[in-house]
């Protein structure tokens, strides 16, 4: 386990590592860097994960049969926009040196939310 953590942090040379370990490190390294970025700004990464799960759960509820009326769909879309504002407000209120983290999170949320809304209106 220590070898995996050292490889993930980039302090271990990967020449002698197995192919599977190199693959896992290659896939997980960006997530570890984002985790460190959040912690370096005084933010709890679990907040981001929790809000993502709440957003995905809300998006999934839109497609359940009891919620197929226009009023329910509108309510869920408004709720998704409110959920999308929680993370930037959290970053602004709690974060230290927030410029980079705030800009990255807003850009990522904008891309994912806009993509979902376009797909929703085109395919639903």
Q: Is 0.75 surpassed by the pTM of this model?
A: no
Residue 62 CB contacts under 8 Å (≥ 6 apart), including other chains: 72, 73, 76, 77, 120, 124
Average of per-residue pLDDT across 70-78: 80
Q: Which residue has the higher pLDDT, 22 or 49?
A: 49
For residue 11, pLDDT over 80 is answered with no
Would you state the structure tokens that stand for residue 29, as one six-digit string?
A: 């390294």
Residue closest to 82 by CA, chosen among 55, 102, 62: 55
Where would I find the beta strands (DSSP E) of the chain?
none
Contact status, residue 76 vs residue 56, Cβ threshold 8 Å:
no
Average pLDDT score, the chain: 77
pLDDT exceeding 90 applies to what percent of the chain?
A: 2
Average of per-residue pLDDT across 105-120: 76
For residue 117, pLDDT over 60 is answered with yes
Average of per-residue pLDDT across 26-55: 84
Would you state the structure tokens that stand for residue 120, as one six-digit string?
A: 């929703």
């Amino acid at each position: 386990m220590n070898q995996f953590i050292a490889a993930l942090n980039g302090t271990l040379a990967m020449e002698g590592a197995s192919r599977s370990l190199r693959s896992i490190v290659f896939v997980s390294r960006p997530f570890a860097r984002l985790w460190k970025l959040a912690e370096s700004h005084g933010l709890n990464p679990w907040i981001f994960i929790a809000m993502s799960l709440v957003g995905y759960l809300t998006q999934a509820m839109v497609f359940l049969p009891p919620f197929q009326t226009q009023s329910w769909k509108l309510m869920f879309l408004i709720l998704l926009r409110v959920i999308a504002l929680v993370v930037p407000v959290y970053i602004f209120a709690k974060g230290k040196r927030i410029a980079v983290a705030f800009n990255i999170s807003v850009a990522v949320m904008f891309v994912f939310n806009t993509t979902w809304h376009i797909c929703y209106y085109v395919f639903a």
